Amino acid sequence: MTSDNQASELENVEAVPGSPKQDPILKIDNIVRSFGGLRAVDVDHLEVQRGIITAFIGPNGAGKTTLFNLITGFDKPDSGKWTFHQLSNKESWTTNLSGLRPHQIANKGMVRTFQLTKSLAKMTVIDNMLLGAAEQKGESLRNALLPSRWQKQEKQILKRAEDLLERFKLSHMRDEYAATLSGGQRKLLEMARALMSEPKLILLDEPMAGVNPVLVESLLVHIENLRDEGVSVLFIEHDMDAIMGISDWIVVLAEGQVIAEGTPSDVSKNPAVIDAYLGSEIAEELKDV
Amino acid sequence: MMLMNLFAEIDVSKLFGLALRTSISVQAATFALAAVGLNLHYGYTGLLNFGVVAFMAAGAYGMAIFFTQGWLGGSILLAIASGVVFAVVIALSIGLPSLRLRADYLALTTIAIAEVLRISFRSQRLLDLTGGPFGLPSIEDRNANVSFADVITVDWNPIKEGNYGAWFLEFDEKTLWVMIIGWSLVSLASLLIWGLMRSPWGRVIKAIREDEDAARALGKNVFSYKLQSLIIGGVIASFAGIVRAFDMGFVETQQFRPQTTFFIWTVLILGGAASIWGPIIGSMTFWFVIIFSEELLRQMVDSGWIPDAILQSNDIASVRMILMGIMLATLMIWRPQGLVGKKEEAQIDIR
């Protein structure tokens, strides 16, 4: 699949909040989370298209990370339902994700990373990677003491881990403790580790934050490569400029609600978005210009 | 002149002999064994278990009650098994309610359960079962020199009656046999932990120590792993209690006071958490230093080198603990990973 195909899939999608997608991988309905009197997240309906890069943007405090936490099970919503739609060999099935615990959601094929990287500092880079693989036989206590039961699988996992490290240019750090990596390298490691489980949908929480500009370039390339390999990508960013180039679809959040969605060009022209980012007064001024 | 006098007064052979004897004693083996269990909890999984002694008490009392009550024919092996089962029950009753909560709640629960257990065993209501403050076996049995330890130390003892070894390292056949059992269990438990920690299971356990949420995000059932760790470490610690009961020949609540928990923590931190040899080196060093300093002070006081006005012989026991504390504090400053711990892995976060 190329990005042209995906663009055509998005052609007929209306650029309004909650618009239905042709082939959604994730559907969210009536999800609400309040902290005291503040409705941090209040989304009526949202669909995420399969096979493309979708970005959640919005000013600080818009509820992006809270929404991420809710759909990955790290926080519990007051109400709401969300479902995961999988596809293989023309067969499709729907999994209800609401109410599941974080590890159950990850095991369904929806894996996340964190804004503040959670690279496991006192483990080596390669151990971090190996940990990411799903359904490891040796991870059950029954088999742990019998290496013959897991060594073969371990070798396959090791191969994949090394390939991914190569791709993310971390091979030279293979046996170093993750604590020795730079901030940007940790972001790369966390992304590579999440890919070890071969997720269908990967959720990246501000992958570019705190990363030096040179590394941002390569991060963007990695994200595009993921999409081209068929992984759906959903990521959070609050810097609009950074994402315009790579996002296929943008969902704009403000004060917990979806205020706009659309292609980058749709969104950048949307007065509601300019308003949310710059405040209404400046938006008025811009109109005059 | 003063210094010359001191050296003349000190019995160096006795000083080192006694310290060495204790560092390979059953006592040291049981502390090492309990520290191996705690090492899985704290060193590898990051669980703050301040109730190690609860697992030891569960093992010792579970075994002693089963045996003295003569349940199911009073077989000693079944008695040991019931001590282990009791420890598993304790692990579940600590873990199920508190492992989903933050780490500090587990710490509180463990310390509470350990005290609840000790005080219950001591209560008059359970006199018939636990012997209350008198412990097990009953006073009459103890006066007649009958104990649950007899099967192990006499009937099943392959070593001929007599004294073995020389110098201060001379042991009778009973002590020697329990020492062998104790240190064999230490080796076995260490081997088990080594095997587990090099497996993918151990990788998940270490990841949980580092960051639970990262492990969850990668699809690992953190709660289940923590419970498994609590049970395995608890069972290992229960064997420490059982071996100790065989060594002493009786169980008493005095053996399971909270200070034992803190000694075992000292052993683990001293030797080095998250290392296979840490608990063993830690326990041997702990007992060596304790007995060495005690004996040195005693000889100095007895010879009059330390005047009575400064230290009297009945204060020595508390002074040696002060020395131990100073040593631990110094070690934390210069070598926070412990004697044999791996710096990158075991260093305690001072953030």
- Model pLDDT for residues A185-208, shown as the tens digit of each residue: 999 999 999 999 999 999 999 988
Q: Distance (Å) from the C-alpha of residue A131 to the closest C-alpha of chain B? A: 7
pLDDT of residue B153: 86
Ramachandran angles phi, psi of A43, nearest 5° = -110, 120
Using an 8 Å CB-CB cutoff, list chain B residues near A119.
214
Alpha-carbon distance B329 to B91, whole Å? 31
CA A29 to chain centre: 19
Among partner residues A113, A119, A139, which is closest to B201 by beta-carbon distance?
A139
Q: Which two tokens stand for residue B229?
A: 């760790």
A107 at interface of B, judged by CB pairs closer than 8 A:
yes
pLDDT of residue B119: 96
Alpha-carbon distance B259 to B184, whole Å? 26
Cβ atoms A228, A4 nearer than 8 A: no
Does B134 or B342 have the greater pLDDT score?
A: B134
Given an 8 Å threshold on Cβ–Cβ distance, is B213 in contact with A118? yes
Given an 8 Å threshold on Cβ–Cβ distance, is B344 in contact with A122? yes
Question: By percentage, how much of chain A surpasses pLDDT 70?
Answer: 93
Cβ atoms B149, B137 nearer than 8 A: no
Given an 8 Å threshold on Cβ–Cβ distance, is A141 in contact with B201? yes
Strand (E) positions, chain B?
163-164, 171-172
Q: Residue B341 pLDDT more than 80?
A: yes
Ramachandran angles phi, psi of A48, nearest 5° = -115, 125
A10 at interface of B, judged by CB pairs closer than 8 A:
no
Among partner residues B211, B219, B345, which is closest to A103 by beta-carbon distance?
B219
Using an 8 Å CB-CB cutoff, list chain A residues near B195.
144-145
Using an 8 Å CB-CB cutoff, list chain B residues near A118.
211, 213-214, 217
Given an 8 Å threshold on Cβ–Cβ distance, is B211 in contact with A120? yes
Residues in chain A with pLDDT < 70? 1-8, 278-289
Among partner residues A111, A113, A144, which is closest to B199 by beta-carbon distance?
A144
- Model pLDDT for residues B49-78, shown as the tens digit of each residue: 999 999 999 999 999 999 999 888 879 999
Mapped onto helix, strand or coil, the DSSP state of residue A93 is: strand
Alpha-carbon distance B266 to A274, whole Å? 61
pLDDT of residue A170: 94
Neighbours of A163 (CB within 10 A): 12
- Model pLDDT for residues B248-288, shown as the tens digit of each residue: 999 999 999 999 999 999 999 999 999 999 999 999 999 99
Where do the domains of chain A lie, and which CATH numbers do they carry?
A: 3-118+198-288 (3.40.50.300), 120-180 (no CATH)
Question: How long a stretch of residues is chain B?
Answer: 351
Q: Distance (Å) from the C-alpha of residue B114 to the closest C-alpha of chain A? A: 27
Please give the torsion angle defined by the CA atoms of residues A197, A200, A206 and A208, in that order, rounded to the nearest 10 degrees.
80
Given an 8 Å threshold on Cβ–Cβ distance, is B201 in contact with A113? no
- Exposed e or buried b for every residue in B12-47, given b needs 16+ CB within 10 A? eeebbbbbbbbbbbbbbbbbbbbbbbbbbbbbbbbb
Q: Residue B189 pLDDT more than 80?
A: yes
Alpha-carbon distance B68 to B238, whole Å? 18
The interface predicted TM-score (ipTM) is 0.89
The answer for A 246-275 residues in CB contact with B (under 8 A) is: none
Q: Which two tokens stand for residue A96?
A: 């209800």
Peptide bond into B137 cis (omega under 30): yes
Q: Residue B41 pLDDT more than 70?
A: yes
Alpha-carbon distance A284 to B56, whole Å? 74
The bridge status of strand A201-205 relative to strand A110-112 is parallel
Q: Which two tokens stand for residue A192?
A: 């590579």
Question: By percentage, how much of chain B surpasses pLDDT 90?
Answer: 65
Mapped onto helix, strand or coil, the DSSP state of residue A32 is: strand
User: pLDDT-derived band of residue B2, with 50, 70 and 90 as boundaries?
Assistant: low
Where do the domains of chain B lie, and which CATH numbers do they carry?
A: 2-346 (1.10.3470)
